[in-house]
Amino acid sequence: GQQVMQIPQYQHVQEGEDFTTYCNSSTTLSNIQWYKQRPGGHPVFLIQLVKSGEVKKQKRLTFQFGEAKKNSSLHITATQTTDVGTYFCAGVRTGTASKLTFGTGTRLQVTL
Amino acid sequence: EAGVAQSPRYKIIEKRQSVAFWCNPISGHATLYWYQQILGQGPKLLIQFQNNGVVDDSQLPKDRFSAERLKGVDSTLKIQPAKLEDSAVYLCASSPIAGTRGETQYFGPGTRLLVL
């Protein structure tokens, strides 16, 4: 079956440092979504990428979809304590009707 | 706009007992999803409904799990009998429509289940 892996599993940064999480799918994706889950909370949608090579920015967050549509990344510039949480990518395999396969997640801890 | 509602928020049961979870999606959302999230892992899709029909239940352990969405609105997920490994958060999500490209999913707060 489809597998979506993320690295690293966990990262601890000082506030102000940058952070990147990488997502890799075993199959080609029609689109990829990113979600953030705060400790004890539920996943909250951040963004969706559809086109090969697409780059989207949301303030300090930059999302990229790979040319082959099998990988993606999320980069946070100058992290803040409010960025704490687990970031999941979730891919829709080409040909499946909106079935999301979530990645393994990257837990981000930010300290002052 | 009200979000996805779930109840109960927490449930503790003993193994071999039964349990049911309820979900009310965002008004007008045609697609409803149930996910299982084990601690430290990403959500795993159990079942997807579009209106009152099942789109995907390939990862639902059908010997013990069942789900229904009879009127195409709210839904229930049941486990009977529960096993220790069913301890997890059960998340319900909804989206407006389901197309081939995928839609934004809006998650409820989840039901945290502990099986002793």
Q: Do A50 and B105 touch (CB under 8 A)?
A: no
Contacts of residue B45 in chain A, CB cutoff 8 Å?
99-101
A33 in contact with chain B, both atoms CB, cutoff 8 A: yes
Decide: A63 and A34 in contact? Cβ < 8 Å.
Answer: yes
Decide: A104 and A86 in contact? Cβ < 8 Å.
Answer: no
Residue whose tokens read 């197309």: B99
- A68-103 core/surface letters (b: 16 or more CB in 10 A; e: else): ebbbbbbebeebeeebebbbbbbbbbeebebbbbbb
Whether residue B34 is predicted with pLDDT greater than 80 in this model: the reply is yes
A104 in contact with chain B, both atoms CB, cutoff 8 A: yes
- B72-106 core/surface letters (b: 16 or more CB in 10 A; e: else): eeebebebeebeeebbbbbbbbbbeebeeebbebb
Which pLDDT score is estimated for A91? 92
A98 in contact with chain B, both atoms CB, cutoff 8 A: yes
Q: Do B102 and A88 touch (CB under 8 A)?
A: no
Lowest mean pLDDT among A82-96, B11-25, B93-107: B93-107
Whether residue A96 is predicted with pLDDT greater than 70 in this model: the reply is no
Whether residue B1 is predicted with pLDDT greater than 70 in this model: the reply is no
**Tens digits of per-residue pLDDT, A17-49?**
999 999 999 999 999 999 999 999 999 999 999
Decide: B91 and B107 in contact? Cβ < 8 Å.
Answer: yes
R_g (Cα) of chain B, nearest Å: 13
Q: Do A98 and B102 touch (CB under 8 A)?
A: yes
A59 in contact with chain B, both atoms CB, cutoff 8 A: no
